Chain A
Amino acid sequence: MNRPSLKSNALRSVRPAAPQVMALILVLCADWLVSHQFFNIRLQSGRLFGSVIDVFYHGAPVALLAIGMSLVIATGGIDLSVGAIMAISGAFAAVLINSNVPLWETIALALALGGLCGLWNGFLVAIIRIQPIVATLILLVAGRGIAQLITGGQIVTFDDVHLIGVASSSLLAIPLPIVIAALVLLITIALVRWTALGLLIEATGANALSSRYAGVETRVVTVSVYVWSGLCAGMAGIIAAADIRGADANNVGLWTELDAILAVVLGGASLLGGRFGLVRSVIGALIIQAMNTGILLSGFQPEFNLIVKAVVVLVVLLLQSPAMLRGIRSMRRRVAS
């Protein structure tokens, strides 16, 4: 196989994102309609402050999960345990920092624990050959219990300014979680698009057996995407804990795995594996958060939250559906003739 040049590779992960970008712009415009100060940005204690910033800030954890989830789904797998891994890493970080472990060690250890959870998932999927939905279900159920063991079932709060800073400080006035998510996105793109790794992941997802015959180490590829997903979830968990200055093992990341999967789907990926787009998945995560923020600003009755969300998701998915697009095209032709 001859590899496409670096340039086209980098472009490939951006260019087909048009429908997602359109959808995001649409949702952001709808947000502006329900709340006219939506795009107002000011500086508050040296960092950008405004509703549109909230979309990126609160979207960062799901964006991180979506990055890892994209790779997992590309191999034909799925990772249901990311919300539980968030709880585990957040709990571990909170307990470590309260035991006076230095910040960098705390973050490294909490991330490592997330990676270890991913390794466990990858081991079950690639080595033991349990179906991914079942294999990751194990941690989905047990993970929150592990997190509760770490915290002793309580919300462990911390006052360490450095760990809180993961969420509350900023780089060039941009809130740090946004910077972290952008960095992880760039690193992941570099790893999968500037090396053959992306190709191997897609090959594994498209047809694992023939990939193995072609000499692809599918097991190594599979384990590594789950580890990456675990690391991303670990980072998201640290950010979520820093955001509320505490580890809420019962509630952090609850059902967030579904948002991450939805983000990847909104990004146009197929759950059957194969092609994936990291930027598109991150835009998918931002669509979800723009929707959430818009609902909160709208002043609708909370009873409508889920209905509004479902309708928006349906519309975005219909906009992307090939069958739907074909239908629109043929209708246009009929009208034109």
Chain B
Amino acid sequence: MTLKTILASTALCATLALGAVQAQAAQLVVGFSQIGSESGWRAAETTVTREQAKAHGVTLKFSDAQQKQENQISAIRAFIAQNVDAIFLAPVVATGWDPVLKEAKDANIPVILLDRLIDTQDPSLYLTAVGSDVVHEGNVAGTWLVGAVGTKPCNVVEIQGTVGSSPAIGRKKGFEQAIAGHDNIKIIRSQTGDFVRAKGKEVMESFIKAEDNGKNICAVFAHNDDMVVGAIQAIKEAGLKPGKDILVVSIDGVPDMLKAQMAGEDNASVELTPNMAGPAFDALIAFKEHGTIPPHFIQTKSKLLLPADAQAEYDEKKNLGY
């Protein structure tokens, strides 16, 4: 610890001599254990985390776990051995983190969770968690639909995420909360598309055929954009106009959906921001510099993306590796 202080003070003198303003943040080293690259969103999150580290003057040590918890645990142990200043963790599964996070706690290294939570009896194992609230996301989507249809009767078909996954459960719940009390809006069919494009298309095809060739459907709500991209195609193949004959709303805000908005084929999407690291770095630096204890959960904004801003959003996102 003393060695660290000496090092810090030398570095401080050096930076002061250089006339730099960022005192402490300049030396922060953060280890980031990322799940892998299972989706475009995940790749974008990695890109944004690197950008945010640069913007905050933090040195980032990156480790890709290739979807395996054991890789994440060994990465965290390696970070502890290297005595980093903090560890960012996007946990691949919810359970089994207590022992390794206890090791980090014993080494006095704060851990911040990104975009997913863990199941633990001991809330002191991590400093804070940055993520979106899936129920809120569904609620924003539902609220948009309520506003869009007004008092007109509207039959909604829902394409769910993977059965039993927390985003699917939460987004469904939030959407249902938003349309509760609006008796003109009903979910008439709901089926899972496993969060993937091909299944979103196949499920939408079956909805269209089961509901009088789509004449009975006023809107489609999908738990993610990929499924909706497939659904839009199914609507077109059935000779209907997506965005007009059938309203389209989903969650994520990926570039392919923004393209669909520009083409007038998609009405709204709730953004799941890939910038989980920005708030995490802010909280970490405040904690390191002033000892500010952050709230135990930092909720990211769930911005509603509409066609009017699609072009600007797209330009911003197209190079993030989605």
A interface residue numbers (CB < 8 A to B): 35, 37, 44-45, 49-51, 54, 58, 148, 153-155, 157, 168, 240, 243-246, 248, 250-252, 292-293, 296-297, 299, 301-303, 305
Contact = CB atoms under 8 A, between A and B. Distances in A.
Contact of B206 (A157, A250, A297, A305): A297
Contacts of B202: 54, 58, 292, 296
B189 A148 contact: no
Contacts of B189: 299
Contacts of A292: 202
B85 interface: no
Closest 5 CB pairs of A and B: A296-B206, A302-B192, A251-B196, A153-B37, A244-B197
B209 interface: yes
B316 interface: no
Contacts of A251: 194, 196-198
Nearest to A40: B209
B239 A296 contact: no
Contact of A243 (B164, B198, B256): B198
Contacts of A157: 256
B192 A305 contact: yes
A305 B39 CA distance: 25
Nearest to B168: A302
Contacts of A245: 233
B160 A302 contact: yes
B37 A302 contact: no
A155 B238 contact: no
A159 to B, nearest CB: 10
A297 B197 contact: no
A315 to B, nearest CB: 22
A279 B151 CA distance: 54
Task: Name, among B39, B198, B256, B322, the residue most crowded by chain A CB atoms within 10 Å (CB to CB).
Answer: B198
Given A54-B202, A248-B197, A250-B38, 20 more contacts: A37-B210, A44-B238, A50-B209, A51-B206, A51-B210, A58-B202, A148-B37, A153-B37, A154-B43, A154-B321, A155-B40, A155-B197, A157-B256, A246-B197, A246-B256, A248-B196, A248-B198, A302-B192, A303-B163, A303-B164
5 contacts: A35-B209, A153-B37, A154-B43, A157-B256, A248-B226
Contacts of B209: 35, 37, 50-51, 54, 297
A250 B39 contact: yes
Given A37-B209, A244-B233, A299-B189, A154 B203 contact: no
A13 to B, nearest CB: 30
B239 A154 contact: no
B197 A154 contact: no
A294 to B, nearest CB: 9
Interface in B306-322: 321-322
B196 A302 contact: no
A293 B199 CA distance: 11
Contacts of A153: 37, 40, 43, 321
Contacts of A168: 237
Interface string B155-180: 00000100110000000000000000
Contacts of B164: 303
Query: Which of B191, B203, B233 has the most C-beta atoms of chain A within 10 angstroms of its own C-beta?
Result: B191
Given A293-B206, A296-B191, A297-B209, A155 B160 contact: no
Nearest to B189: A299
B198 A299 contact: no
A284 to B, nearest CB: 19
B239 A45 contact: yes
Interface in B288-309: none
Interface string B8-32: 0000000000000000000000000
Nearest to A45: B239
Contacts of B237: 44-45, 49, 168
Interface string B69-100: 00000000000000000000000000000000
Interface in B21-70: 37-40, 43
B295 to A, nearest CB: 33
Interface in B203-224: 203, 205-207, 209-210
Nearest to B39: A250
A54 B205 contact: yes
